[in-house]
A = this chain, B = another copy of it.
Amino acid sequence: MIEYKVIFHIDELNKWKLLLSNVSNLLKASDNNKYSVEVLANAEAVKYYAATQNLEADINLMEQLREKGVKFVACNNALTANNLLQKDLIHFVDIVPAGVAELIIKQSEGYAYIKP
């Protein structure tokens, strides 16, 4: 078993379905590897974390992925630009000050980068 790390980047609202499908498929891959997954949302994509805007089914899928260890992260610059506060977001979302800095730092730590 090999351990891999990956950060998925999303900045468009309409890519969430594809992204969640990508992450689900990755965790279902029967290749005996272990994948540490972080999802980093910036720009308009952070609006998806505001629970009231989502379908129940999507929240359920995100919660299932979260239980499998997937980390969901929001860019604080993007939250501010969209008038969103932490209390508006699904409870398990973490916040970083600058999403692009997070993408850079994680890659320097050996994370692969995927932009669906």
Contact = CB atoms under 8 A, between A and B. Distances in A.
A35 B18 CA distance: 30
B29 A101 contact: yes
A25 B108 contact: no
Interface in A2-56: 4, 6, 9, 11, 18, 21-23, 25-26, 28-31, 33, 35, 42-43
A61 interface: no
B18 A101 contact: no
Contact of A113 (B35, B97, B105, B107): B107
Contact of A104 (B43, B97, B112): B112
Copies in the complex: 3
B100 A26 contact: yes
B112 A112 contact: no
B104 A4 contact: yes
A91 to B, nearest CB: 25
A76 to B, nearest CB: 10
B112 A115 contact: no
A11 to B, nearest CB: 6
Contacts of A11: 18, 116
